[in-house]
Copies of this chain bind each other. A is one copy, B any other.
C-alpha cells in the first residue's frame, strides 16, 4: 500500500489521470448511485481534503467541475449540495410556447387524461433500451393555454423503473410537471433531452382531442429524456397546435 486514499500517484506505475479528476469521479459515483439524494449536503471541502489526503484546492477543483456540470450546487456559508433537475437545466423542463421571439412564455395548464399499463412496442422500447416484451406505462395528458387545448402528449415509461406509478392521482400529474413528479417520487433527476421535430397532418383521434379539423398541420415532437449515466427513462410523443404560439428552443 502506498497511501490510504489511492488518489495520489505511486512513485512507480505512473498514472497520468489528475487527482482532481479521480476525486470528481468518486463524488459523481456517489451522486449517481443515489447514495446522496437531491438536496443532501455533502462533506465540506476541508473534510473531503482530509478524507482523501489531497489539498483543499484539489477538492475545490473537483467540486467546482461538478457544479459546472450541474450535479452539485454550493451556497457560501452553508455547504455543497446535490442538485436535482435544476438550474440551467430548468429550460428543458417544459414546453415553452411563444407567439414570436420577443414574446413572453405562455402559462400552460395540464390536464391528466389517463395512465394505462401496456405491452412494449417497437419505437418506444427501442429508444428506451428495453427488450420488446418489457411492459410500459402510458401517460396521456393535455396542455392548455387558457381554455384552448394546444398540446396532446403521450409518455411511455418503463414499468420496471417506476414500480407504483399507477398509485399516483390525477392531481399529482396536474399540479406538477412529469419531471418534477418523477424526480420527487423516484429520486430521478433529468440530465438531458433529445428531441425530433416534425410536421404531420392531424389524424382523426388526435384532431378530436385537440379540437381541430382532421388534416390540420400539427407540430410533432418525439422526445427522449435521460437521467444519470445516459439512462433513458421516458419516451414521449407530443402533438402541438402552432397557429397561435410556437415551440421555443434556445442553443
Interface residues of A, Cβ cutoff 8 Å to B:
68, 91-92, 98, 100-102, 123, 126-127, 192-201, 215, 217-222, 224, 240, 242, 246-251
Contacts and interface: CB of A to CB of B under 8 A. Distances in A.
A192 B217 CA distance: 29
Contact of A199 (B102, B200, B248, B249): B200
Interface of A, helix, strand, loop or mixed by DSSP: strand
The 8 closest A-B pairs by CB, nearest first: A198-B242, A199-B199, A217-B217, A196-B246, A199-B217, A198-B246, A92-B251, A199-B219
For this chain, the copies found in one complex come to: 2
17 contacts: A91-B251, A98-B196, A101-B127, A194-B251, A195-B250, A195-B251, A196-B246, A197-B197, A197-B219, A197-B247, A198-B242, A199-B199, A199-B218, A199-B219, A200-B217, A215-B215, A249-B251
